[in-house]
């Protein structure tokens, strides 16, 4: 009959437990340990990993957007990131509603990739529109801008706003 000395079993179990704890901390919780490679920082942009990528939104001024609306430019799409009921109540003329979401449902088929998207929100510091601009950029939209100053700057400048009902009635009249 084989017997083990209790102190040898205890030491072996402690060594095994320490090894598994190191593996768990490294693999499951992301704590680095010596000898294991760190994942590079970056983002997946349209399915390709870009190391060191940091999103910085591109802005369009309210004056530029107003001029584009007045010129009836067809190469831009104005995107309101508000909830649908808020958008229906009042928005920038010609804006489509694409509400802010935590995660985009891919592929994004509601917005055209070949046009410049100008996003805006009613946030203090462009939080929702900048976040959506980043998400759309990461999904492969190459022409995305954020309206500088957002909804409140547009209102402060006294620029035109419309409701969905007003816009629908205008389209019916011709």
Kindly list the domain boundaries of the chain, sorted by start residue: 1-37, 58-173
In the block, tokens 């995660």 appear at 103
Does position 79 have pLDDT exceeding 60, yes or no? yes
Strands (E), the chain: 42-45, 48-51, 58-60, 76-80, 96-97, 116-120, 144-147
pLDDT digits (tens, 9 = 90+) for 36-62: 455 667 777 767 787 877 788 999 999
pLDDT at 41: 78
Report domain 58-173's class. alpha beta
In the block, tokens 């694409």 appear at 98
Residue environment code for 72-92, b if the CB has 16+ CB neighbours within 10 A, otherwise e = eeeebbbbbbbeeeebeebbb
pTM over 0.75: no
**Sheet of strand 96-97, all strands in order from the earlier edge strand to the far edge:** 58-60, 144-147, 116-120, 76-80, 96-97
């Amino acid at each position: 009959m084989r017997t083990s000395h209790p102190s040898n079993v205890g030491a072996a179990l402690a060594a095994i437990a320490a090894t598994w704890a190191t593996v768990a901390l490294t693999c499951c919780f992301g704590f680095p340990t010596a000898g294991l490679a760190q994942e590079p920082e970056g983002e997946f942009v349209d399915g390709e990993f870009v190391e060191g990528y940091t999103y910085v939104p591109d802005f369009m001024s309210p004056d530029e957007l107003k001029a584009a609306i007045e010129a009836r430019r067809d190469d831009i799409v104005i995107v309101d990131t508000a909830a649908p009921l808020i958008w229906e109540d009042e928005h920038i003329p010609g804006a489509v509603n694409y509400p802010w979401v935590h995660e985009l449902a891919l592929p994004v088929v509601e917005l055209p990739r070949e046009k410049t998207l100008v996003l805006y929100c009613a946030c203090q510091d462009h939080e929702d529109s900048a976040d959506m601009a980043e998400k759309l950029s990461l999904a492969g939209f190459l022409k995305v801008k954020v309206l500088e100053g957002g909804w409140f700057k547009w209102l402060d400048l006294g620029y035109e706003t419309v409701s969905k009902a007003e816009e629908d009635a205008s389209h019916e009249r011709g």
